[in-house]
Structure 1
Amino acid sequence: MRAPDRFLGRAGVYAAARPSYPPALGEWMSERGLLLGPVADIGAGTGLFTRLLLSRGAGVHAIEPNPEMRARLEEALRPELESGRLSVVDGTSEATGLPSASVALITAAQAAHWFAPEPTLREFGRILCPGGLVLLVWNDWRGEDVPFNLAYGEVVRRFQSGMPEAVSRAPSPELAQLLPGGFEHVAFGNPLTLTRERLHALAASVSYLPSPTSPDFPALARALDGVFGLHQEDGTVTLHYRAHAYLGRPS
């Protein structure tokens, strides 16, 4: 199955349940002067990271191969599309559809682990202006040693299937391949408050867990209800994410 196809039927729950990105990350990007030129946001999905880029004044080309995700992005960000601050392109990291030397920054949030490194690096080199940079971002709840994260992780391990273990870990293998020119790392806390319904939707949005229409999803939902009941306070739980950003060069 191609990477974009793993999210078919999940665009709605993805848009509703996935965490956004912390304002502190946007402030850091602005302070570093990363958003002064055009940005290619590759694997933009439903536009969660695209929103952060736009909120800091960037002009963005959102590259997304999944038609359902692309439609959600266009619907949510219609004013930015109509103003010309945003374009949405059916493309991939290997073939963005953008002109050569047209962007100052490439971003990929929650997406770069899907990229084939060799053709992706060729395309990055083609579309980046001289001196351009690449920013790879992941929201990751793993490694946060708090009770609900640990309990949620146990449920994920029970139901995870069909994906290499590397996809569900911190993305270190991809970094050396996609940022061979070296990189720096910053991280920002990004806790996510979840109702029972949003917890179900969050799990349903994950490519290596049962989809909402899978016959295995009811069992996953029951397992989530069990850990939710043990950890909830006033009807919510908190999954502690950390937003990791890796800024570097593709050569």
Structure 2
Amino acid sequence: MSSSDRFLGRAEVYAAARPTYPAALREWLRGRNLLTAAADIGAGTGLFTQLLLEGGAQVSAVEPNADMRAQLAGRLSPAVQSGQLHVLAGSSEATGLADHAVDLVTAAQAAHWFDPERTVREFRRILTPGGLVLLVWNDWRGEHTPFNVAYGQTITRFYRDGDDPVHINRVPEDEIPLFMPGGHEKRTFENPLQLNRERLQALAGSISYLPHPTDPLHAPMTRALDDLFDAHQQQGQVTLHYRTHAFLGRV
């Protein structure tokens, strides 16, 4: 199964449930004068694309999954209509962009799916001289709050056979130099996510290595998440503590 096919049928819950990205990250980029012309690769439903747009960037959002592209274009239709945003079918290896088209290439929650060698070749082609690459991940693992630990223990019981989610959805810090052979810097931002019962269920439904609603394991997972929520909720909310890891560098 291709990386984009893993998210077939999950675009709506992905858009509704996944965490956004902290304003502090946007302001850091703005302070570096990086929010000019950007390509957001593997843009999904546009959660990071929106941050780039809010910072004033002219954005080309590149996404291979048609459902995700439709969600992105619908959510961000004012930017499409104004011409600030262009949505393209493409991948990290074949973006469809012109040579030297952008000053910044971004990929949020996506680069762990990319082939580094082919991706770097394409990024070099589309970047202007001196252009930069920004790779971003939201990650709740490693944050040892009671709810984070309990959430991890709960979903582990429902991993799909043959998947290794620690590998496929981790922050691949040891691989960053393959994407940024010219060197990089790292910044980390706090990004806690408050969830009601429905959003917790939707969050699990957006994850490619957990059961799809058509899977027989989806119903028992739903019950387990309900029990988890009831055990930890305060005033109808739980908090999953994420950190946003941002790597900025050169190809």
TM over 0.5: yes
- Mapping of residues 93-132 of structure 1, within 5 Å: 93-132=92-131
Cα distance in structure 1, aligned partners of 2:225 and 2:31? 40
2:235 aligned with 1:234: yes
What's the secondary structure of 1:238's corresponding residue?
strand
Cα distance in structure 2, aligned partners of 1:199 and 1:77? 24
Amino acid in structure 2 at the alignment position of 1:158: R
2:73 aligned with 1:74: yes
Unaligned runs of 5+ in 2: none
Tell me the matched-pair count. Answer: 249
Kindly state the Cα deviation for residue 175 of structure 1 after the two structures are TM-superposed.
1.0
| Aligned 8 A contact 1:10 1:212 in 2 | no
Kindly state the Cα deviation for residue 213 of structure 1 after the two structures are TM-superposed.
2.2
Cα distance in structure 1, aligned partners of 2:174 and 2:112? 9
Partner of 2:21: 21
| Aligned 8 A contact 2:4 2:64 in 1 | yes
What's the secondary structure of 1:135's corresponding residue?
strand
Cα distance in structure 2, aligned partners of 1:249 and 1:51? 23
Cα distance in structure 2, aligned partners of 1:105 and 1:45? 18
Partner of 1:41: 40
Cα deviation code 1:119-150 (max 9, x no counterpart): 11110111011001000000100111100000
Kindly state the Cα deviation for residue 222 of structure 1 after the two structures are TM-superposed.
1.2
Partner of 2:55: 56
Partner of 2:9: 9
Cα deviation code 1:209-244 (max 9, x no counterpart): 111222111111111112111110011100011111
| Aligned 8 A contact 2:17 2:199 in 1 | yes
2:203 aligned with 1:202: yes
Partner of 1:146: 145
| Aligned 8 A contact 1:112 1:174 in 2 | no
| Aligned 8 A contact 1:20 1:48 in 2 | yes
Amino acid in structure 1 at the alignment position of 2:109: Q
Cα distance in structure 1, aligned partners of 2:213 and 2:23? 30
Kindly state the Cα deviation for residue 34 of structure 1 after the two structures are TM-superposed.
1.1
From the superposition, tell whether residues 163 and 178 of structure 1 become closer, same or farther in structure 2 (CA, over 3 Å): farther
TM-score between the two structures when normalised by the length of structure 2: 0.97
